[in-house]
Amino acid sequence: MENYKITTLNDFIILKQKDFTYAKGELSSLLHHIGTAAKMVNKKINKAGLVDIIGSAGEVNVHGENQQKLDVYADEVFIGSLLASGECCGVATEENENEISFSDTFASKGKYIVCIDPLDGSSNIDFNVSVGTIFSIYRRITQRGEKVRNEDFLQNGSKQVAAGYIIYGSSTMLVYSTGNGVNGFTLDPSIGEFCLSHPDIRTPENGSIYSVNEGNYVHFPEGIKKYIKYCQEIDKDSGRPYTSRYIGSLVSDFHRNLLKGGIFLYPENKTAPQGKLRLVYECNPIAFIASQAGGMASDGKRSLLEITPSSLHQRSPFYVGSKGMVKKVEEFLDFYNR
């Protein structure tokens, strides 16, 4: 008898809700709505090559970056689904300059705010490279029923109630944590459900993969240049030389390293003095997942989760993955940038 014991995302959310004595189902409902939005975006991405939805929307986003049509679609779908949940009172997304306050009577009383990059890596879509959604959930600071304010979205990463990502790749996966470990769910299109496929993900203390855009090498800090050469040296005891793997899509590069062990680096460089990746809705949620799986994330000097953001779209140097490897990068930066 084939094993039909399937645990869907919704089964799991309800099951795990029992871990939180004070839980009244609000977070569960919010996570369920994120799963629904992910299925809708997945459907469009799968057909992107066939219908007129790839390519530029002809607009640029708040950062002056060319907005892909699927960016716009994903942004609208996730915002709509978060509003519909009734548990989220406002969102900050990569595609909108300012936070969005939900004025709907029901939603304005929501307990949570969400920071989200609706479609990270979207410039890769036209070339059939995996892309992702990255999300972060906090309790609001403002009073329920009030309009949200900037301060609701500028909490440090250690205050995250939950975080996760969806990777639209060879299969579509949702990986999330509510602070009790990390679990991965793979979408079974035949039943339209995310099914538990990677329970209790733990990332190895050390790995043999390093992921960085070496095209920026000349612009890197001295400590990063030396670390990259360290990865390329022969040292059988530590398994070097490491393997270089870089897709150019954060969720894909991080997800591979999370499962196999490895480090992802996006350093500050002369052309991007604060790095490229956004602290609030890219680095922090990924850092939360990494730390929950036994890894760590740093800006090169300190734990990324301890940084209090000063603006919604601020960038940060980003080093994330296996704890031993991130600590080694911090050592190199400290020694060579002394």
What is the contact surface with ligand P6P in residues (CB under 6 A)? 120-121, 123, 213, 248-250, 253, 276
Least Å distance, CB 268 to ligand P6P, is 12
In contact, 280 and 117? CB cutoff 8 Å? no
DSSP three-state, residue 20: coil
**Alpha-carbon span 105 to 212, nearest angstrom:** 46
Structure tokens at 259: 């499962």
Minimum CB distance to ligand P6P smaller for 208 or for 211: 211
Least Å distance, CB 187 to ligand P6P, is 20
What Cα–Cα distance (Å) separates residue 322 from each residue in 130, 138, 263, 307, 328?
Answer: 22, 25, 6, 20, 10
The type of residue at 151 is E
Minimum CB distance to ligand P6P smaller for 89 or for 250: 250
The type of residue at 98 is N
Least Å distance, CB 288 to ligand P6P, is 17
Least Å distance, CB 146 to ligand P6P, is 33
**Alpha-carbon span 147 to 137, nearest angstrom:** 17
Order the strands of the 172-177 sheet from edge to edge: 100-101, 88-93, 112-120, 131-139, 162-168, 172-177, 183-188, 193-198
Minimum CB distance to ligand P6P smaller for 241 or for 248: 248
What Cα–Cα distance (Å) separates residue 134 from each residue in 176, 261, 270, 304?
Answer: 10, 20, 27, 16
Minimum CB distance to ligand P6P smaller for 10 or for 124: 124
**Alpha-carbon span 166 to 204, nearest angstrom:** 21
Q: How many residues does the chain have?
A: 338
**Alpha-carbon span 74 to 320, nearest angstrom:** 26
The candidate with the shortest Cα–Cα distance to 73, out of 95, 89, 92, is 95
Q: What string of DSSP letters covers 43-85?
A: HHHHHTTTTTTSSEEEEE-TTSPEEEHHHHHHHHHHHHHHHHH
Least Å distance, CB 20 to ligand P6P, is 32
**Alpha-carbon span 246 to 218, nearest angstrom:** 17
**Cβ neighbours around 231 below 10 Å, total:** 21
In contact, 217 and 134? CB cutoff 8 Å? no
